Amino acid sequence: MGTPATPNVDKYGRPIEQPNYAPAAQAAVTSWQVKDVTPPSPVYVTVDDGLVFRTFSSVAGATVVLTVRFLVVPDGQIHLLQFQQVTDGLRDKQEQISVLGEGFILSAQVQVSGLPDAKRGQLFVNVHINRPATLVGQSAFSLISDYKVAGTDLGFPGSMIRHPTEGPGWSRIMQIGNPAAGADWIATVPAGARWRVQAISETFTASAAVASRQAGLFLDDGANVYWANTAPTAITASQIVTISATGSSAPQGAAPFQQTIVIPPGLFIPAGHRFKSTTVNIQAGDQYSAINILVEEWIEP
C-alpha cells in the first residue's frame, strides 16, 4: 500500500516551488512617530519637586550609589546623575534631597560596593519624589523601595515596591557577651530592627556551691514582662549544662547536662524589647557563656 501524497511536497519531503508564485502584498497598519515623541516615562518633575534618596543599613561602610537617567526639558538632552551615601550601620535614616529641575526621570538604578554578599534585611533603599522639595513635603511618587541584594538589580522601572518588613529577613546569629559571674544576661533588639527569634543556646556552669538552680528565660518590652518559662530540671553544684530554647516542644535530653525551654513560636519582637535569662537561686560563682541567638532580622524604620 503506497504512502498518501502530500500536496506541494515531493516524495522526499522537499517543498515544490509553485510556478508564478508571489507573496501577497499588504500595507503595514502600524506607523511610528519619529518627531515630537512623547517621553517614555510617567515621572515628570519640576523645580518644586525633590528627589529623595534614603538608605537604612545594619552594616557600616557600604557605599550606595544611585544613578538616574534624566531627560532635561527643554533641550531634550539625557543627563546621567549620581548620588552617593556611605552606610553608618545604625539602621537609622540617611537621606539626601536633590532638586533636578524640569524634566523626566527615565530610569534609576542602585549599586553597592563594600557589601559584596548583601542579603535581604541588611540594606534597605527608598527613592521617591517629594513635593514640595523639603523634608516636610509629601511623597508624590515612589521609584524604589526594597532591599539591595547581591546578584540582583534594584531600580526603576521594574523593581517591586516593598515595605522593609515584607518578605524574608536576614538570618544571623547574635553572640551575646558573657555576663559577670553570678549574673544573668540580657539581649536587647537594636533600634531600627525587628527580630524573629528562632533558637537560643547557652551554657550554664554551676559553681561548687551547694544549691539547686532553676534556669529560665523571659521577655519584656523594657519594663513589662509578657512571657516567661523555665527549664524542667534543677541544676546542681558543679554541673555544666547546655540549655536550648526553640519554638517547638523539644524532648528533654536524657543526660542531665542538656535542658530545653520552649519559647513562643513565630516570635516577632520590635526594637527595645529584651530577652533575659532568669535563674532562680543563682550563686556568686555561677557563669553563663556561649550565648547564641538565631534571629531573622529586618530593618523597621
Residue 268: which domain range?
170-299
Does residue 294 share a domain with residue 198?
yes
Torsion of CA 240, 245, 250, 251, to 10 degrees: 20
Instruction: Determine the length of the chain.
Output: 301
CA atoms of 148 and 187, how far apart (whole Å): 27
pLDDT at 33: 74
| CB-CB contact of 52 with 129 (8 Å) | yes
Residues in contact with 105: Cβ distance below 8 Å, sequence separation at least 6, in sequence order: 41, 43, 45, 51, 68, 69, 70, 71, 129, 143, 156
Looking at 93, 125, 156, the residue that finishes a domain is 156
Q: What is the pLDDT of residue 197?
A: 94
With respect to residue 261, please indicate whether it lies within any of the assigned structural domains. Answer: yes
* DSSP code at position 234: -
- What is the b/e burial string over 274-298, where b = at least 16 CB atoms within 10 angstroms of the residue's CB? bbbbebeebbeebbbeebebebbbb
pTM (two decimals): 0.82
Same domain membership, residue 80 and residue 130: yes
Give residue 13's pLDDT: 67
- Residue 244 CA, chain-centre distance (Å), reads 27
Domain shared by 56 and 87, yes or no: yes
Q: Which residues pair with 161 in a beta bridge?
A: 145
> What pLDDT, on a 0 to 100 scale, did the predictor assign at position 248?
80
Q: Please tell me the distance from the alpha carbon of residue 154 to that of residue 108, in angstroms, as a whole number.
A: 9
Q: Is 154 exposed, middle or buried (0-12, 13-18, 19+ CB in 10 A)?
A: buried
Residue finishing a domain among 122, 156, 190: 156
Q: Could you say which of 156, 181, 197 is where a domain stops?
A: 156
* pLDDT at site 84: 97
pLDDT tens by residue, the chain, 301 residues: 555 555 666 666 676 666 666 666 666 677 777 677 777 788 999 999 999 999 999 999 999 999 999 999 888 899 999 999 999 999 999 999 999 999 999 999 999 999 999 999 999 999 999 988 776 667 889 999 999 999 999 999 999 999 999 999 999 999 999 999 999 999 999 999 999 999 999 999 999 999 999 999 999 999 999 999 998 889 999 999 999 998 886 666 556 688 999 998 888 999 999 999 999 999 999 999 999 999 999 999 8
Q: Residue 109: what pLDDT?
A: 97
238 within 8 A of 165, measured Cβ to Cβ: no
